[in-house]
Amino acid sequence: MTDTFRSVRIERVSTGEYVVHNTRGGTLPVGGKDGTAFTPVELLLAAIGACTAIDTDTVTSRRAEPEGFTVTVSGDKVSDPEQGNRMTNLSVTFDVRFPAGPEGDEARKVLPRTVKLSHDKLCTVSRTVESGEQVHTTIV
């Protein structure tokens, strides 16, 4: 097992508006329901989808460049005063098209196995969600 530390830093811009910074200098606006910034729940869905999309695209694109590659992630946000807020019914849907011919046929052949391998072993994000890893909060 390989352990490699990861972190992001979130800075407040104004009430309900934040910027996420990664260690490589990237930034991402995050906000509430108003405006175009992604909400935290949308970021969770995006992280699940992007993680498995990258795994899948890396393998299938070695065989053929996709003509279309879209991943849709959805779920239901539950607001429950007793058990707390959470997402349920999480679903990841791949819509991938490869060109006709032997390369496209090979990419189509490995697609189901690659998606399953990402879900079962490779995608750190969905594997963490499914494992129910604890989140520890500290005030400094």
The CATH number assigned to the domain holding 87 equals 3.30.300.20
Mean pLDDT of 41-59: 97
Q: Which of 140, 127, 119 is nearest to 52 (CA)?
A: 119
Give the C-alpha separation, 121 to 88, whole Å.
21
Does residue 12 belong to any structural domain of this protein?
yes
Mean pLDDT of 46-57: 98
Chain segment 19-40, per-residue pLDDT in tens:
999 999 999 999 977 789 999 9
Specify the pLDDT at position 35. Answer: 84
- Do residue 103 and residue 74 come from a single domain? yes
- Do residue 31 and residue 54 come from a single domain? no
Give the C-alpha separation, 41 to 117, whole Å.
25
Contact 19, 29 (CB under 8 A): yes
- Do residue 32 and residue 92 come from a single domain? no
Backbone CA torsion sign across 11, 128, 43, 31: negative
Q: How many angstroms separate the Cα of 61 from the Cα of each of 29, 72, 84, 121?
A: 30, 19, 41, 20
Contact 68, 95 (CB under 8 A): yes
pLDDT at 2 over 90: no
- Do residue 48 and residue 12 come from a single domain? no
Specify the pLDDT at position 20. Answer: 97
Q: Which residues, in sequence order, are CB contacts of 122 under 8 Å at separation 6+? A: 52, 55
Give the C-alpha separation, 66 to 51, whole Å.
18
Does residue 50 belong to any structural domain of this protein?
yes
- Give the residue numbers spanning the domain of 34: 1-38
Give the C-alpha separation, 118 to 24, whole Å.
25
Does residue 136 belong to any structural domain of this protein?
no
Specify the pLDDT at position 1. Answer: 72
Q: How confident is the prediction for the chain on average, in pLDDT?
A: 95
Chain segment 79-123, per-residue pLDDT in tens:
999 999 999 999 999 999 999 999 999 999 999 999 999 999 999
Share of the chain above pLDDT 70, in %: 100
Displacement of CA 15 from its chain's centroid (Å): 26
